[in-house]
Amino acid sequence: MTQATENQPEGAAPSQGSSAPSWLNRNVLGMGLTSLLSDAGHEMATAVMAGFLAVLGAPVYALGVIEGVSDALSSFVKLGAGWWSDRIGHRKAITTAGYALTGGAFALFAVAAAWPLVLVGRMVAWFGRGIRGPLRDALLAESVAPSDRGKAFGFHRAGDTLGAIVGPLLAAVLMFLLQPYAGEDASAPFRIIFVLTLVPGLGAAAAFALMVQEQRRPANHGIKLWASVRALPRDFRRFLVGVGVFGAGDFSHTLLILAATQLLTPSHGAVTAAQIAALLYALRNVLYAAASYPVGALSDRLGRRGLLLAGYLLAVGVMVGFVFAFAAGTSSVLLLAVLFSLAGVFIAVEDSLEGVLTADLVPDESNRGTAYGVMGTVNGVGDFISSAVVGALWSLSPEAGFAYAAAAMLLGAVLLHRLR
């Protein structure tokens, strides 16, 4: 391998032009564009999936089964994918295949006559997502100098979230334009949208293949999965404990839409409350996208752990805010806008800096794919636990659900604070 300079690490593509910052190289740009396109594609499909299932006459539980099975599959695939990339010594080809799988799988929805085929399509898409995530993050960490990782991850997460904003907007516009096709077959607009997701979805795979460069490492075919996991640094394993405990309270933020809807319905009516809740969630995504790069850049200057700890504590504050909102029965849109905005900021801190800290705590590139795979699996298990527990407690009272989330997040913050 060539010797890395201070601002150009091994494996990174050179910056295009002297006016660009040294960290904003071809790899970082390529991965940012890839994630924007990929998220736009799968969020287009996700935005209309519930409506499509309703048109198909699927049972109420179908959406929960589709989401739960797909998320579980993605979480456990991440561990194996990260380890396998360390074993064979390269990541790009597998990551490209993962993007292609996700990009093409939603087209299966277009030929679905019943909800089980939607489940199959979603599982294929999320299998691809599980493959690509840890490998992409490992490549991203290797593409910039350690002092610039925060900026690179923040830039990438901003592109990712921008795609999550664009996708539902595209779906909404297309549903409006395609209404004339719903006359004889109510499912026709949905099917057309699912086919159109091929454009950004496969475009993402093409962007990754053409723009991202990788310098391969020697293969290590003798490395075993659990031996690789055990070889991860002690500090990283301690970090994972804090991340996992925090994640056990960090439920799916689509539940925030439900919270806003319930709080606003008595004063605004169900339809208006749902519309406002959707706008509040869009506001959350805008703040998520806007905060990601500044948070990453700030971590390069001030340090990662303290800033991540601040993000964890901000999350606790948001959960406590919702406890009081339900206890008081508030219908203040302004208060909810503040809480949703802060939720966008804390998820930007969490999503950007957990990935950067993983690279910092696992300096050995030959084991970094495994590290990101383990991180992805821990986060996935945490998502499942948190959403299940909060959902169950919610049936008793929303305050109980949010109080549990705040307690788990606070304990995770304490464990992170103890990490040296």
Tens of pLDDT along 378-394? 988 888 888 888 888 98
pLDDT by residue (tens digit) across 322-371? 999 999 999 899 999 999 999 999 999 999 999 999 999 999 888 899 99
Percent of the chain past pLDDT 70, that is, above it, reads 95
**What's the burial of 19, exposed, middle or buried (CB within 10 Å: 0-12/13-18/19+)?**
exposed
Q: Are 227 and 367 spatial neighbours (Cβ–Cβ below 8 Å)?
A: no
Would you call 274 helix, strand, or coil by DSSP?
helix
**What's the burial of 294, exposed, middle or buried (CB within 10 Å: 0-12/13-18/19+)?**
middle
**Confidence class for position 163, pLDDT limits 50, 70, 90:** very high
pLDDT of residue 14: 42
Hey, how many other C-beta atoms are within 10 angstroms of the C-beta on 292? Answer: 27
CA angle at residue 196 from 193 to 198, to 5 degrees? 130
Contacts of 370 (CB under 8 A, 6+ apart): 79, 82, 83, 86, 225, 228, 229, 232
CA 213: distance to chain centroid? 23
Contacts of 364 (CB under 8 A, 6+ apart): none
What's the rounded Cα separation, in Å, for the pair 286 and 48? 20
pLDDT by residue (tens digit) across 87-97? 888 899 999 99
* 13, pLDDT greater than 70: no
Hey, how many other C-beta atoms are within 10 angstroms of the C-beta on 301? Answer: 10
Q: Of residues 278 and 347, which shows the higher confidence score?
A: 347
Taken in order of first residue, the domains within the chain and their CATH numbers are 20-210 (1.20.1250.20), 232-420 (1.20.1250.20)
* 300, pLDDT greater than 50: yes
Would you call 214 helix, strand, or coil by DSSP?
coil
**Confidence class for position 19, pLDDT limits 50, 70, 90:** low
Q: Of residues 69 and 37, which shows the higher confidence score?
A: 37
Helices vs strands, H then E, count in the chain: 15, 0
What's the rounded Cα separation, in Å, for the pair 223 and 234? 19
Q: What is the mean pLDDT of the chain?
A: 88
Helices (H), 89-145: 92-105, 115-142
The secondary structure of residue 10, as a DSSP letter, is: T
What's the rounded Cα separation, in Å, for the pair 152 and 106? 29
What's the rounded Cα separation, in Å, for the pair 224 and 46? 36
Rounded alpha-carbon distances, angstroms, from residue 390 to 12, 135, 193, 218, 383: 42, 31, 33, 45, 10
Contacts of 163 (CB under 8 A, 6+ apart): 35, 36, 37, 38, 39, 40, 41, 43, 200
Mean pLDDT of the region 200-226 = 88
Mean pLDDT of the region 253-273 = 86
Q: Which amino acid is at 186?
A: A
What's the rounded Cα separation, in Å, for the pair 99 and 64? 24
